[in-house]
């Protein structure tokens, strides 16, 4: 059986309908931030093990950005919420 992601707008959908963007905790630097800050934002990423929040786009569905909390080792999904919801990192 395919892995399902419980989209808050469309219901359970196969993971193949989604595109992953990456870490939901990264904050974009201000436009006047230095070169080092922008380099780190664009190129440097952690590769976490375990529970982690990521941005996913429902490309073949509602086209909304979501925050998916999943285990990066087992791929178990714990929570899915709309990225624009209050309290979510967008």
Stated pTM of the model: 0.81
* CATH number corresponding to 4-82: 3.30.2270.10
Strand stretches in the chain, DSSP E: 4-7, 11-14, 19-23, 51-57, 65-71, 77-82
> In the chain, where are the structural domains located?
4-82
pLDDT digits (tens, 9 = 90+) for 17-71: 999 998 998 889 999 999 999 999 999 988 889 999 999 999 999 999 999 999 9
Cα–Cα distance measured from residue 85 to residue 90, given in angstroms and rounded to the nearest whole number: 9
pLDDT at 1 (0 to 100): 45
pLDDT at position 10 over 60: yes
Q: What angle do CA 5, 26, 56 make, to 5 degrees?
A: 20
């Amino acid at each position: 059986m395919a892995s399902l992601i419980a989209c808050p707008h469309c219901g359970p959908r196969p993971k193949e309908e989604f595109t992953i963007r990456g870490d939901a905790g990264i904050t974009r630097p201000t436009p006047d931030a230095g070169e080092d800050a922008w380099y780190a934002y664009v190129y440097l990423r952690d590769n976490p093990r375990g529970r982690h929040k990521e941005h996913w786009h429902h490309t073949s569905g509602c086209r909304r950005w979501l925050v998916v909390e999943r285990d990066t080792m087992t791929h178990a999904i714990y929570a899915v919420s709309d990225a624009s919801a209050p309290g979510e990192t967008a």
